[in-house]
Amino acid sequence: MLEIILLFLITYLLAAIPSGYWIGKIFGKDLLAEGSGSTGATNVLRMVGKWQAIFVLVFDILKGFVPIYYAKNLVDYFQNSNNLWLFLLLTFIPILAHSKSIYIGFRGGKSSATGIGVLFALNPLVGLITFAIWGATVFISGISSLGSIVAAPLVPVWLWIFNENWAVIGFGVVAFVYIVLIKHKENIKRLLAGKEYNFRKK
């Protein structure tokens, strides 16, 4: 049980690393006070630059992927079906940590990239499908938030189609509710008003 407690703690501390915020600081930008106020890759793209945004996107995906992949494949405790409820809780930690980072006063980003990292660890094929839907939506629309809003609700459906267990499907449901309905609430309002940020438009 001590190993599990440490795993939860390390998962939080890793996923809470605000890569976007620190990259912004390096280039003289306070992402919490500029642009959308988010520390995610989209705000980095808006306020700093393209290559910096790509770095943040990859880093934020990895910090969701690494601890969950380790827990799913290398921790015997989670191979017992009686402990799946605790595994479900663990899958939510990276998403929560990215958006509520202890390093920057429990603020952060929208958790989309970190969530996709968790999904790649749980089911790489579903992760790839979801990333493709997100990417296609963003490419067509020029709006990053729309990609998350379109792709996330389909995650539990894909996981069910691929016969995942209830805990993994549960992650899909929790991720959809938290990332889309809670963290992207203001984005949805701006989309409906036609005021959401489009990286193709100045």
Domain ranges of the chain: 2-193
Do 117 and 62 touch, CB atoms closer than 8 A?
A: yes
pLDDT in the model for residue 125: 97
Question: Tell me, what's the pLDDT at 82?
Answer: 87
Give the span between the Cα atoms of 3 and 141, in whole angstroms.
45
pLDDT of 202: 55
Taking the model in full, what pTM does it have?
Answer: 0.93
Q: Report which of 35, 183, 59, 53 is spatially closest to residue 109, judged by C-alpha positions.
A: 183
- Chunked into runs of 10 residues, the chain (202 residues) has average pLDDT values of 93 97 96 93 93 97 97 91 92 96 96 96 97 94 92 95 95 92 90 86 64
Per-residue confidence (pLDDT) for residue 79, from 0 to 100 = 86
Question: Which DSSP symbol is given to 28?
Answer: T
How far apart CA 175 and CA 115 sit, in angstroms, is 7
> What is the distance between the alpha carbons of residues 132 and 13, in angstroms, rounded to a whole number?
29
